[in-house]
Amino acid sequence: MHDTRSALTVLALASTLLCGTLLPASTHAGIVLTDDAEREIALPAPAQRIVSLAPHVTEVLFAAGAGDKVVGVVAYSDYPEAAKSLPQVGGYTQIDLEAIAALRPDLIIGWQSGNREGHLARLEALGVPVYLNEPRSLEDVARSLEQFGRLAGTETAAEASASAFRARHAELSAHYTRRPKVRTFYQIWDRPLMTVNNEHLIADVIRLCGGENVFGSLSQLAPTISVEAVLAANPEVIVASGMGEARPEWLSQWSRWPQLEAATRDNLFFIRPDHIQRHTPRILDGASRLCDQLEQARARRPAGSAQGN
């Protein structure tokens, strides 16, 4: 009986979504793009009803000029202000399929490493195009703006945003990338103790600022590590974000380890998570702050220090 009810639910969702996607013929040419999972996504015309499955996707859609085409978002889609009033379809790890169906989307944009594969597969089975986004570099953020603009038919606004992003990126790079290297540990969370490897977007921000990710060679994108590993790596700087706008209390706990250069030189820095952990144009706000923090660390080096040479 349970299997029968599940099958009927899926059929009902498919019917609802199909009714929403059978729109009158459009004068726009069809759109064919390759998403970040290397899959070809085809739309008969620019999307008019988009559901976003990640807070960063929501923000990039608005930055690409497509905010008025977003009909549903996940929890924590809180920027820009207009996104807060949009209908929510669960969280990025726990998607409400029925809520999505009720919105009759003609495009869903998901987060490849953040959404659950099973949820994405069920959405695709219902016949709605699902574009997967996965920025791993700062250039990927600019490219996401352009891709979202093409999907939504807002190319002019999207290309202007991408151009402004690239110009600011280039300015920061010219000023900081060739500065003496600073060995940096970026802490995502405390328990479990987590960081990023060199494939992560945050690692690209660290490189932009002339930093060197001390855990860059680890195989996982966001690996769990130990306190002993941090002590052995002995970073010159520790940067953390936590969950909100306030500096997390656990960042100061590294002061208990006087053998850490980051602790002895007071190089324990905080950056708001939405300024560095979201794959959006605002990541350059976080990058600017990180670059300034690494400059502070360079200035605090003992006279005659050979670090970074």
Q: What local confidence, expressed as pLDDT, does residue 192 receive?
A: 93
Q: What's the rounded Cα separation, in Å, for the pair 283 and 169?
A: 10
- Structural class in CATH, domain 8-162: alpha beta
- Residue 15: what pLDDT? 40
Residue 38 CB coordination number (10 Å): 7
Residue 191, CA distances (Å) to 19, 216, 236, 238 in order: 46, 20, 22, 16
Pick from 209, 202, 256: nearest CA to 230: 256
Chain length of the chain = 309
Residue 193 banded pLDDT, cuts 50, 70, 90: very high
Name which CATH class applies to 178-299.
Answer: alpha beta
* Domains 8-162 and 178-299 agree in fold: yes
> For position 307, what pLDDT does the model report?
61
Tens digit of each residue's pLDDT (9 = 90 or more) over 139-156 = 999 999 999 999 999 999
Domain boundaries, the chain: 8-162, 178-299
How far, CA to CA in Å, does 105 sit from each of 127, 154, 193?
11, 17, 38
Mean pLDDT of 162-188: 97
Instruction: State pLDDT tens for residues 250-306.
Output: 899 999 999 999 999 999 999 999 999 999 999 999 999 999 999 999 999 998 665
Tell me: pLDDT of 121 over 90.
no
Instruction: Note the pLDDT of residue 29.
Output: 62
Q: Where are the alpha helices (DSSP H) in the chain?
A: 2-21, 55-63, 97-102, 117-125, 138-152, 155-176, 201-208, 227-233, 261-264, 283-299
Per the prediction, the chain carries an average pLDDT of 89
